[in-house]
Amino acid sequence: MTDASKTEAPDTDERVKEMSSFRRSLIRPELGGMVGTVAVFVFFLLFAFDSGMFNSQGVMNWTIVSAQFMIIAVGACLLMIAGEFDLSVGSMIGFAGMMIAVFGVVLGWPMWLTIIITFAICLAIGAVNGYIVVKTGLPSFIVTLAFLFILRGFTIYIPQTLENKTIIGGIRDAAEGDWLGSIFGGKIFGGFFNILGDAGIIATFERGSRMGEPVVDGIPMMIIWAIILIVFGHVLLTKTRFGNWIFAAGGDAEAARNSGVPVDRVKILMFMFTALCATIFATCQVMEFGSAGADRGLLKEFEAIIAVVIGGALLTGGYGSVLGAALGALIFGVVQQGLFFAGVESSLFRVFLGLILLGAVILNTYIRRMITGER
């Protein structure tokens, strides 16, 4: 391209309104999630401040619940931006947990091998999901709905056939001292909490065998995984070439293909990533509970999708933010646990959730129209 042909254009266009930098920095996909987060924290600071929600135990309580939502929301978010859904996330969580119990407890395999094989199986199922969607052109809604039933069916059938029960325990014993198991099960920074406890900043046990130890004795790996996945997802989406392909695949698959984006590969990989997140969730959960149950992960797919949508993603793909999804998951977790602390009748949780979902989506739609010029 030669510079000789360069023609000078006027530097301003009278039809482009100047936007203040403050307004511009606000107009972003995560705005709905940020507003919602501030709103729920203000609400609970006002109505549940004295309930113990904001002492070390309380904070850990809702942080863990939020972290659980975050792990599956990151996967659901990237997949939704790539233009697809995965309704089999909840069943995948139950299935993955059961596989760990079957391999590690019933068959007695070493825990590290159990975990690696479980991840391999679940990623393969994610790839099959994606492959069927991409090759048949069927809506992912239907394909993954089929897998919702298939995986849940196996999760009930396998333990019943092998052990005549639907809950298999003993996972914690099987994972004792295993290097890979501790990456999903343990807690870290225990020393730091001891120091905080000794300094009187956080609560300690006042009697019993653990007297003097802090009540919160470390950060569970579930939270660490949530942070790792959020950072990974955010960087992948916004800072890499592959991230551009995720947006393109969901925005308009045909246009992306015409520009040389390997749309099918992107979509299959995102189905696998969603499966990865579900399996990480399941592994942390069985390590924490010490057992796998056939009903684990029920309705988790919808909770993930709700968190993603509160976070500003467009249901039809091509638009969204991992940070937004993480905020959506935080709102979800804080509201669910906060209502308990505030002493609100637990059935009202659904009412609150519905109202937040509606409010966030309306705000998000408005913001998105401002950014993208949709009409």
Partner 1 sequence: MSDQSKTPIIQMKNIEKHFGAVIALAGVSLDVFPGECHCLLGDNGAGKSTFIKTMSGVHKPTKGEIIFDGKPLDFETPRDAMDAGIATVHQHLAMIPLMSVARNFFMGNEPVKKVMGINFLDQALADKVTMDEMRKMGINLRGPDQAVGTLSGGERQTVAISRAVHFGAKVLILDEPTSALGVRQTSNVLATVDKVRKQGVAVVFITHNVRHAMAVGDRFTVLNRGQTLGTAVRGEISPDELQDMMAGGQEMATLEGSLGGTV
Check binding of 108 to partner 1 (CB under 8 A).
Answer: no
Q: Report DSSP state, residue 297.
A: T
Q: How far is the CB of 296 from partner 1 (least distance, A)?
A: 35
Residues 263-322 binding partner 1 (CB under 8 A) are 314, 318-319
Cα torsion 365, 366, 371, 375: sign: positive
3-class DSSP state of 188: strand
Task: Enumerate the β-bridge partners of residue 220.
Answer: 187
Cβ atoms of 272 and 126 within 8 Å: the answer is yes
Q: How far is the CB of 80 from partner 1 (least distance, A)?
A: 13
> What is the per-residue binding string for partner 1 in 3-22, x denoting contact by CB under 8 A?
--xxx-xxxxx--x--x---
Indicate the residue among 73 and 313 with the shorter CB distance to partner 1. Answer: 313
Check binding of 345 to partner 1 (CB under 8 A).
Answer: no
Q: How far is the CB of 26 from partner 1 (least distance, A)?
A: 14
| Nearest Cα residue to 28 out of 375, 362, 363 | 363
Instruction: Count residues binding partner 1 (CB under 8 A).
Output: 35
Check binding of 210 to partner 1 (CB under 8 A).
Answer: no
Q: How far is the CB of 30 from partner 1 (least distance, A)?
A: 14
CB-based contacts of 177, cutoff 8 Å, min separation 6: none
3-class DSSP state of 304: helix
Q: At what angle do helices 56-81 and 89-101 cross, to 10 degrees?
A: 120
Please give the Cα distance from 303 to 315 (Å, whole number): 14
Check binding of 333 to partner 1 (CB under 8 A).
Answer: no
Q: Which stretch binds partner 1 (CB under 8 A): 113-121, 165-173, 195-203, 259-267?
A: 259-267
Check binding of 332 to partner 1 (CB under 8 A).
Answer: no
Give the N- to C-terminal CA distance of the chain in Å, as an integer.
36
The total of other beta-carbon atoms located within 10 Å of residue 163's CB is 14
How many helical (H) and strand (E) elements, i.e. helices and strands, does the chain have?
16, 4
Check binding of 207 to partner 1 (CB under 8 A).
Answer: no
Q: How far is the CB of 173 from partner 1 (least distance, A)?
A: 39
The total of other beta-carbon atoms located within 10 Å of residue 299's CB is 9
Radius of gyration (C-alpha) of the chain in whole angstroms: 23
Check binding of 177 to partner 1 (CB under 8 A).
Answer: no
Q: How far is the CB of 318 from partner 1 (least distance, A)?
A: 4
Indicate the residue among 16 and 211 with the shorter CB distance to partner 1. Answer: 16
Q: How far is the CB of 223 from partner 1 (least distance, A)?
A: 25
Residues 222-241 binding partner 1 (CB under 8 A) are 239-241
Query: Interface residues with partner 1 (CB under 8 A)?
Result: 1-2, 5-7, 9-13, 16, 19, 239-241, 243-245, 247-248, 251-252, 255-256, 258-261, 314, 318-319, 371-374
